[in-house]
Amino acid sequence: MNRKNFFIIAGILLILILRLAASGYADGIPDLRAGWDELWREMMIDILGIGIVFLAVTIYLLVKYRRKSPNEEGSAKKLTPLAAFGWIVIPVFIFMADDIFLAAKNFTLWNQYRNVPANAMVIDVEGFMWGWDFRYPEGITTTNELRVPVGKPVKLNLTSRDVIHSFFIPDFRQKWDAVKGKQNYLWFSAKTIGEHVITCTEFCGVLHSNMYGKIIVMPENEYNKWVEDNKPKGGAI
């Protein structure tokens, strides 16, 4: 290897390492959506690569070895024991390496999904046939409409009043099952102001596809005002 190549390879490695280290930790709170999208993109490149190689080889063989005369027969020889062994061990090794590589990446992201940042606010969610009830720390309750302040991590405690539902926010790449008699959770942190769909992804009967609502991400001060305006006036009524 000459010196130029060495620097190119070292440079690429360095950039990769820096990118890995930098992904998703801007404000100390992992960005699940960005992390998910990143891993997804890598997966797609990975499988597209394998796919194109396989496809190219298959098409090449299909075209190259078409029958040329009616009585022709195939002429492959029996593999030597060494070749046969190699054709098992080498693929096994490659697949295993790829699998371990993917699994390792997966667990980094999985841990971010399952470890809730310490400063998260907690909202209780109860799924029912067919809708979602929310209860805020201040005692406010809403149905099918979840308001959250922008930039703040939110932990949702999930349960169900009846059958299994699954709480899904496509825009945040986040989802978890809500099961009667169990307390599950998920968390997210909205980066920008806006509205996002919440929808159910576990079959729960006739109106399963109608079991949706929305998340409204608000500026922190507007959210605080909304809480002030709506919180139950203790004992006044």
Partner 1 sequence: MSATASQAITLQSKFSLKEWIFTTDHKRVGVLYLVGSFAAFFVAGIMAMLMRTELASIGPTVTSNPTTYNMWLYFHGAAMILGYQIPALTGFFTNYYVPLMIGAKDVAFPRLNAFSVWLFWMGIVLALLTFVIPDPPDIMWTGYPPYSVITPGNTALYTFTVLLIGFSSIAGGVNFLTTIIRMRAPGITWNKLNIFIWCTMAAFVIQLIFVPILGVAVTMLSLDKYLGTHFFDATAGGTPLLYENLFWFYSHPAVYVIFLPAVGIIYEIVATFSKNRIFNYKGVVYGGIWGTVILSGIVHGHHIYVSAIPDWLVMIQTITTLLISIPVGLLVIGLVGTLYKGSIEFKTPMLYVAGFFFLFLIGGLTGIPNAMSAIYIHIHGTQWITGHFHYVMAVSVTTAIIGGTYYVWPKMTGKMYNEALGKLGFLLFFIGVNITFFFTMYIGVVYGMPRRYYDYAQFPQIEGIQKVITFGSYIILLGALVVLISWIHSLIWGEKAPNNPWGSKSLEWTHTQSPPPQGNYTEPVKVSEDWNPYGYGK
Contact status, residue 143 vs residue 133, Cβ threshold 8 Å: yes
**Judged by CB under 8 A, does residue 39 bind partner 1?**
yes
**Judged by CB under 8 A, does residue 103 bind partner 1?**
yes
Angle, in degrees to the nearest 10, between helices 81-114 and 32-64: 160
Under DSSP, the state recorded for 170 is G
Among residues 154, 186, 204, 217, the one that binds Cu ion under rule CB under 5 A: 204
**Judged by CB under 8 A, does residue 45 bind partner 1?**
no
Task: Compute the distance between CA of residue 107 and CA of residue 17 in angstroms, rounded to an integer.
Answer: 17
Residue 28 binds which entry of partner 1, Cu ion, none, with Cβ cut-offs from 5 to 8 Å by kind?
Answer: none
Q: Which is nearer to Cu ion, 165 or 173 (CB)?
A: 165
Cα dist from 123 to 63, 139, 180, 208, 227, whole Å? 61, 10, 17, 23, 13
Under DSSP, the state recorded for 180 is B
Stretch that binds partner 1, among 17-25, 59-67, 120-128, 217-225 (CB under 8 A): 59-67
Write out the binding residues for Cu ion, residues 63-82 only, by CB under 5 A.
Answer: none
Among residues 36, 128, 223, 226, the one that binds partner 1 under rule CB under 8 A: 36
Site string for partner 1, 131-160 (x = CB under 8 A): ------------------------------
Task: Compute the distance between CA of residue 214 and CA of residue 197 in angstroms, rounded to an integer.
Answer: 5
56: its two tokens: 């190219």
**Judged by CB under 8 A, does residue 161 bind partner 1?**
no
204: its two tokens: 């729960």
- Smallest distance from the beta carbon of 211 to partner 1, in angstroms? 10
Among residues 6, 197, 219, 232, the one that binds partner 1 under rule CB under 8 A: 197
Residue 233 binds which entry of Cu ion, partner 1, none, with Cβ cut-offs from 5 to 8 Å by kind?
Answer: none
Write out the binding residues for partner 1, residues 82-101 only, by CB under 8 A.
Answer: 84, 87-88, 91-92, 95-96, 98-100
3 state SS of 124:
strand
Taken in order 131, 168, 213, 190, is the CA torsion positive or negative? positive
